[in-house]
Amino acid sequence: MAKVIIAIHGLRNKPPKNLLLEWGRKSILEGIAYLGSEVKLPKMELAYWADILHGQPLSPDEKDTKSPYFIDEYYVPSRKIKKVESHIIRQRLLLFLKKIIYRIFLKKDFSLRFPKIPKKFIHNNFSELEVYFNENCETNEKACKRRDEINSRLISLLEKYKNDEIFLVAHSMGSIIAFDVLSFLAPDIRINTFVTMGAPLGAPFVLSRIARLNKSKLQEHIKLQTPEAVSKHWYNFADIKDSIAIDYKLSDEFKANKKGVKVQDFLVLNTYQINGKPNHHKSFGYLRTPEFINVLIDFINEK
């Protein structure tokens, strides 16, 4: 049985599909070289959906820094790939804040206490999420069609490789899309390993939405869990300074699926920076971390 890596990207407009895939592959190869491994990467595919919402991709030929198509964060090798340092105080603070935030915004059934607040926040900051989270198809049919098309990009790749061993990597908003697909839209397609990085799955408005979909689709009591489509592993990677993955410990919220697969959380050091400016959320930085590379190598070498 062949093995395949399927990746799905996150928020914002992106460079052309082939270029983004090439940069992702370079990031992984950089991480493999750092560990001194000689494994050969299996085939790698990208569920690319930026064009659905943005039309024209970012251009590597655009030199005008004020142009909406200028690439300000491209792939660059890191000079300091290393394992994460201890952030005990920051970890405890974030876990404490998480408890307070959940208490304020979430009811016991995971419904939101103040639904207008996250709705306004998403509207002001994340246009892609606003389209994807739209639930009123009668008044905004276009948004619903776009969401369905985004999901279909990933579903078609999973269908294409359903007889192979799949290693699914989801970054940022891509983790929400992947979770939806694996849990509600294509639960019968088995994947070996599910990887989330820089994932906002622990945000109250995301948890509330997952719980609501779980109840409406499965007609069961609300239960946050690893998607049943995941057969062996779910690994979640987060940098302690990643502002999107503030809840870095998803194992507190998501229980094991029927196969006993429970999310395993890893704190990592995302070393991506461009022109001296770090971005602890960047996918290229996550893809070359030793912790991620080790689980990928385990997948590749698994008999």
Sequence length of the chain is 303
Q: How confident is the model at residue 267 (pLDDT cuts 50, 70, 90)?
A: very high
pLDDT at 108: 76
Q: What is the pLDDT of residue 17?
A: 98
Rounded CA gap, 174 and 75, in Å?
Answer: 19
* pLDDT score recorded for residue 219: 45
Provide the pLDDT for residue 218: 47
Structure token pair of residue 187: 């639960």
Interval 122-181: pLDDT, tens:
867 788 988 998 878 877 889 899 999 999 999 999 999 999 999 999 999 999 999 999
Q: Is the pLDDT of residue 119 over 80?
A: no
DSSP state of 165: E
DSSP E strands: which ranges in the chain? 3-8, 43-47, 165-171, 191-197, 230-239, 263-268, 273-274, 277-278
pLDDT at 106: 73
Top-confidence residue, 21 or 117: 21
Angle (CA) 11-13-49 rounded to 5° is 75
pLDDT tens string 235-253 = 999 999 998 998 889 999 9
Cβ atoms of 255 and 226 within 8 Å: the answer is yes
Top pLDDT among 114 and 27 is at 27
pLDDT at 112 over 80: no
Q: pLDDT tens, 76-94?
A: 998 776 667 667 777 777 7
Residue pLDDT, tens place only, 172-231: 999 999 999 999 999 999 999 999 999 999 988 888 888 888 765 544 556 789 999 999
Which pLDDT tens digit goes with each residue over 93-104?
Answer: 777 777 777 777
CB 150 within 8 A of CB 177: yes
In the CATH hierarchy, which fold is given to the domain comprising 3-68+150-301? Rossmann fold (3.40.50)
State residue 222's pLDDT score.
61
CA-to-CA distance for 272 and 60, rounded, in angstroms? 19
Segment 40-58 shows an average pLDDT of 96
Burial-class residue 138 by CB neighbours within 10 Å (0-12, 13-18, 19+).
exposed
Domain boundaries, the chain: 3-68+150-301
Share of the chain above pLDDT 70, in %: 95
Average pLDDT over the chain, rounded to whole? 90
pLDDT score, position 82: 67
